[in-house]
Amino acid sequence: MKSSMLICFFALFHFLGYSQLKGVVYGSGQHEKKTSIPGARIKSLHSGLGTVTKSDGTFELTLGKSLPDTLIVSAPGYHNDTIFAQKGDRFALLEVLLFPDNLLPEAVATAKRETHSISKLKTLHVENIGEGELRKAACCNLSESFETNASVDVNMTDAISGAKKIQMMGLDGVYTQIQFENIPYLRGLESSFGMNAIPGTWIESIQITKGTGNVVNGYESMAGLVNLELKKPEEMEKFYFNAYGNIFGRAEVNVNGAFKLNEKWRSGYFAHAAGMFGEIDNNRDKFRDLPLSKNLSALNRWSYRGKNFESQFGVNAYYEEKTGGQTGYSHRSSNGLYGVFIENKHIDAFAKTGFLFAKKPYQSIGVVYNLKYQQTNALFGLRQFTGEEKRGYVNAIYDGIIGNTNHGIKAGGSLVYADIRQDLDSLLLDRVEIVPGIFAEYTYTSTRLTTVFGARGDFHNLYGFQFSPRFHSRLALTENLDLRITAGRGFRVSNVIIDNISLLATSRDWIIASDIRPEISWNMGGSLVQDFKLKTRKATFSIDFYRTFFENQLVVDRDLSLTSIHFGNLTGKSVSNTLQAEVSLPVLVNLDVRFAYKYLDVQAPLGGQMQQQVMIPKHRGFMNLAYKTRNKRWEFDFTISVYGKSRLHHVHIPDSDVEYTTMSSVYPLMNAQITHIYKRWDFYIGGENLANYRQKNALIDPENPFGPYFDATRVWAPIQGTNIYAGIRYKLKQDKK
């Protein structure tokens, strides 16, 4: 039974068929009132296909197989408009606004390419971080790509190993599914250190979805979904070079490039080498503020476009070594010093394949494959962790319609195979997961309303059948106001040790319950996005609220005891309520301002009572200013985040005159960058933590790291002070045909 299912999945299906776009064409009239335009023409540039809008201004257009495509919308008496339709816009809803050709040119809104936009076309609330946004900070690797974004927080989970995790809605990063072009990524053993494995220069864009994602993407998106689009051979630069250095002794070199073999084959290569070579101990506690490290990463991807067959595949390899802890520590000869040594390596291969059927334009099937091998070894003082993971993944999706294009259907199946070994000193946690799953999703589309009902069933070999229903809806209340609602269930099997590896940086014992069950959560929420005009420029206001509650959770309790950390199933309630409000204003022609406020109420039974999770502030504020000169030669960016007070877990305090507080302080984090663009070169210089805010006494009892009081996990603010960095980029674009 299982093998025949496997055979079905491994057969080659077609991946990209024809896509259907629907939409409305409006004309901007007096006082910017929108009226629908019948008889407007929409033509696709690549395929030559076209259509005309109906009497109510609506249209349906079948796109050709080569996406992205350019669509030209025209109507007599109006300026033409061009729209880029991408693969992700299949079955999307477009709103096109044309301007009368008798308007003075200065009055015609110049479409600025927005660097941070909330996509109106999608049913889910998706934030897009594009290339323009990624350039605002040095973005050395994925963990630094969220510095100018308010929805995703990135935190250092301990003061020694340099591990960074993201947080969405106040919930740990393991509850956010990270994907690489719709392939689940950075799972299992990579959940803590994986963010360093993806250099920022490889990323083309990032899509952030709050709440549970589509059933098509898997069952693990509980708080949200982060999808990474890496640069693709068709569009990326022919040659790209980047070099970076900072005052702490970190240096980095990146080289990317693409070449075309012939009309059908294209390839992209990516290489990255980085290291942290400086011994920094500015707070003089004899511990390195940042670990020394070396890492190497390479990726090669290929894309094949035939007449009836398309394919993408690639391979990626990564090696990283980190040495942290007391200054002078080396894992080869520790000299009795306390240190942390982490070694990470992985190799993975991915492929997406498909056939095209010319006779069935509204249907498509696609298959995605991924294989990974990962090894992670971490030594924290005397505690040794070794981990090994072998993972395989296949996902096949059928995409079609029922009757007409108002009713879309997606269905398919997936198979996850994971062999994860986690060994911590004498504790051996090994498991093999085989999870076949099936899913189906129905989408109803009309001009103002899009609703998606999805469900998936996964047959977990260890934990039985898991059902995950999902619901998403988008209602255009007015032409400029969108309401979105989402609800769903997600689950994941926790990896006790690697998910919490930073908690080894303490002398506390780990007490792990023997019957850990999968984590299951329900998430519901909604958002309102209002577009409005500031003079002639587009501004956005959005507010969203999400509530997540856990049926079961791996509760990490640091409050129950002063000498140990307890890991166990949830007994009681665990709830997270988050509210985020954001305003984006183009204050001047070239000055964009963005403000955001976030409220996080994340409570779980900790230390015997329901209280806010440690180190999650209730309030957070954020502001970003971006200024570009009109001749595009200079870019100035400034970001400030203000973190409110948060609760700190109690520590076993040694007898000393050092005061250890129970609440963290309010503090600001300021970053700024200046970029100068000269033809194909960019020169950038910037600073991080410009306020030089440093957490005092981040380490508990650093004089006795092997003693009973030592704790390096109480980190809520930067330990290193102001960082100044500089770098250069060189880009050579591909020749356009």
Partner 1 sequence: MKNILLFVFAAVTLSFVQPKTEQAILKTSAECGECKDRIESKLNYTAGIVFAELDYKTQLLTVKFKPAKITLAEIKTLVSELGYDADDVKANPEKQKELPACCLPGGMKP
Interface contacts to partner 1, rule CB under 8 A: 41-43, 45, 50, 70, 72, 74, 79-82, 105, 108, 110-111, 629-633, 678-679, 736-737
**Nearer to partner 1 (CB atom), residue 69 or residue 181:** 69
Sheet with 116-118: list strands edge to edge. Answer: 116-118, 126-129, 203-210, 224-230, 176-180, 183-185
Q: How far is CA 674 from CA 587, 621, 683, in A?
A: 19, 23, 8
Helix ranges (DSSP H) in 249-369: none
Q: Nearest approach, Cβ of 250 to partner 1 (angstroms)?
A: 32
Considering the complex, state which of residue 48 and residue 403 has its C-beta at the smaller distance from partner 1: 48
Using DSSP's 3-state secondary structure scheme, residue 136 falls into coil
- Amino acid identity of residue 549, one-letter, is F
Specify the DSSP class assigned to residue 710.
-
Question: Which residue, 111 or 428, has its beta carbon nearer to partner 1?
Answer: 111
Question: What is the distance of C-alpha 426 from the center of its chain?
Answer: 35
Minimum separation from the CB atom of position 257 to partner 1 (A): 20
Name which of 81 and 252 has its Cβ closer to partner 1.
Answer: 81
Q: Which residue type is seen at 291?
A: P
- Pick the closest to residue 572 from 559, 587, 553 (CA basis): 553
Residue 239 or residue 471: which is nearer to partner 1 going by CB? 239
Closest to 275 measured CA to CA, from 298, 253, 243, 250: 250
Q: Which is nearer to partner 1, 262 or 631 (CB)?
A: 631
Q: How far apart are CA 251 and CA 577, in angstroms?
A: 40
Assign 437 to helix, strand or coil.
strand
Q: How far is the CB of 565 from partner 1 (least distance, A)?
A: 54
CA-to-CA separations, 377 to 676, 690, 691, in angstroms, rounded: 41, 34, 36
- 334 vs 326: CA distance, rounded Å: 10
- For the bound state, the minimum distance from the C-beta of residue 264 to partner 1, rounded and expressed in Å, comes to 20
Q: How far is the CB of 265 from partner 1 (least distance, A)?
A: 21
Q: Least separation, in Å, of the C-beta of 98 and partner 1?
A: 10
Least separation in angstroms between residue 511's CB and partner 1 is 60
Looking up tokens 């306390």 gives 338
Q: Residue 731: how many CB atoms within 10 A of its CB?
A: 17
The backbone torsions φ and ψ at residue 527, rounded to the nearest 5 degrees and listed phi first, read -145, 155
Residue placing its CB nearer to partner 1 in the complex, 72 or 154:
72
Indicate the residue type of 164. Answer: K
Minimum CB separation from partner 1 for residue 661, in Å?
Answer: 52
The pair of structure tokens assigned to 726 is: 């500089």
What are the C-alpha distances in Å from 488 to residues 175, 212, 438, 491, 550? 13, 6, 16, 10, 12
CA distance 95 to 82: 12
Residue 144, sorted as left (phi over 0), alpha (psi -120 to 50) or beta, turns out to be: alpha
User: Smaller CB distance to partner 1: residue 431 or 633?
Assistant: 633
The distance of closest approach from Cβ of residue 207 to partner 1 in the complex, given in angstroms and rounded to an integer, is: 22
Beta carbon nearer to partner 1, 564 or 734:
734
CA 62 to chain centre: 31
Q: Residue 339: phi, psi to the nearest 5?
A: -150, 170
Q: Give min distance, CB of 536 to partner 1, in A.
A: 12
Residue 82 or 704: the one with the smaller Cβ distance to partner 1 is: 82
**Cβ distance to partner 1 smaller for residue 79 or 390:** 79
Q: Minimum CB separation from partner 1 for residue 53, in Å?
A: 13
CB of 627 to partner 1, least distance (A): 14
| Residue (110 or 262) nearer to partner 1, CB | 110
Distance CA(161)–CA(411), nearest Å, equals 43
Closer to partner 1 at the Cβ: 535 or 736? 736
What Cα–Cα distance (Å) separates residue 49 from each residue in 1, 15, 179, 598?
44, 21, 33, 46
- Give the separation between CA 639 and CA 364, rounded to whole angstroms: 43
Radius of gyration of the chain (CA): 26
What's the min distance (Å) between Cβ of 25 and partner 1? 13
The CA-based angle 604-210-206, given to 5 degrees, is 125
